[in-house]
């Protein structure tokens, strides 16, 4: 597999990220009373969030997934969303096409039928011995090295779609004067 230009670029970028993270961050000081006020506010908002999440969970199927109003299906166990066309979105925000091609969050593309990487910087790398699974792993690793992996991305998207499909109706009150 000849992916040396990708690996060299990724290792350079990973070194840059490491150096940026090593620089100490200076945060403003907070007194104890403001922290206490923030703690109370967080407790109230988390209780409301938990109640809303419990309401939304009633719309999940027996496997914990959800079929949305567009015909797609969220599968949080597999951490994927399959759209109505058969393409699959994952927690790396990448999209796998039905033919095995893959588009990463960073704009890099694996063209499965031609076994070619088409990178966001304009480079094109032919790799006849690379399988789609290997190519997808390389592209996902690149996204992860750049901080683009979110292990709850599909879960959050699913809950957001359920909330959109089934909005909370305001409670009905008595007659107005």
Q: Are 75 and 82 in contact (CB under 8 A)?
A: yes
Q: Is the pLDDT of residue 34 over 70?
A: no
- Cα Rg of the chain, angstroms: 22
Cβ(159)–Cβ(49) below 8 Å: no
Residue 43 predicted with pLDDT over 80: no
pTM of the model as a whole: 0.65
Per-residue pLDDT band at 29 (split at 50, 70, 90): very low
Whole-number pLDDT of residue 171:
61
Task: Give the separation between CA 169 and CA 160, rounded to whole angstroms.
Answer: 16
- Residue 159 has phi, psi (to 5 degrees) of -65, -40
Q: pLDDT band for position 173 (50/70/90)?
A: low
Confidence of residue 22 (pLDDT cuts 50, 70, 90): very low
Q: Is the confidence at residue 177, as pLDDT, over 60?
A: no
* Among the ranges given (38-52, 60-74, 116-130), the one the predictor scored with the smallest mean pLDDT: 38-52
The pLDDT-based confidence of 161 (bands split at 50, 70, 90) is: very high
In this predicted structure, the answer to whether residue 88 has a pLDDT above a threshold of 70 is yes
Which of 51, 56, 53 shows the shortest CA–CA distance to 162? 56
User: What is the share, in percent, of the chain residues with pLDDT greater than 70?
Assistant: 68
Bridge partners (DSSP) listed for residue 126: 116
Q: How many CA atoms lie within 13 A of 29 on its CB side?
A: 2
Q: pLDDT at position 109, please? A: 97
Q: Residue 74 has what pLDDT?
A: 95
| pLDDT, greater one: 6 or 125 | 125
pLDDT score for 167: 86
């Amino acid at each position: 597999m000849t992916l040396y230009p990708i690996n060299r670029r990724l290792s350079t970028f990973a070194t840059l990220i490491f150096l940026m993270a090593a620089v100490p961050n200076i945060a403003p000081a907070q007194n104890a009373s403001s922290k206490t006020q923030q703690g109370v506010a967080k407790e109230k908002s988390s209780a409301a969030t938990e109640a809303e999440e419990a309401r939304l969970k009633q719309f999940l199927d027996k496997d914990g997934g959800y079929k949305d109003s567009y015909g797609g299906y969220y599968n949080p166990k597999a951490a994927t969303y399959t759209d109505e066309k058969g393409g699959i979105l994952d927690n790396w925000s990448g999209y796998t096409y039905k033919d095995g091609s893959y588009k990463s969050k960073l704009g890099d593309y694996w063209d499965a039928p031609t076994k070619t990487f088409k990178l966001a910087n304009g480079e094109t790398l032919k790799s006849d011995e690379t399988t789609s699974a290997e190519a997808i792993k390389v592209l996902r690793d690149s996204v992860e090295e750049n901080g683009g992996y979110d292990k709850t991305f599909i879960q959050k998207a699913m809950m957001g779609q359920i909330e959109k499909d089934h909005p909370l109706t305001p409670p009905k009150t008595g007659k107005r004067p």
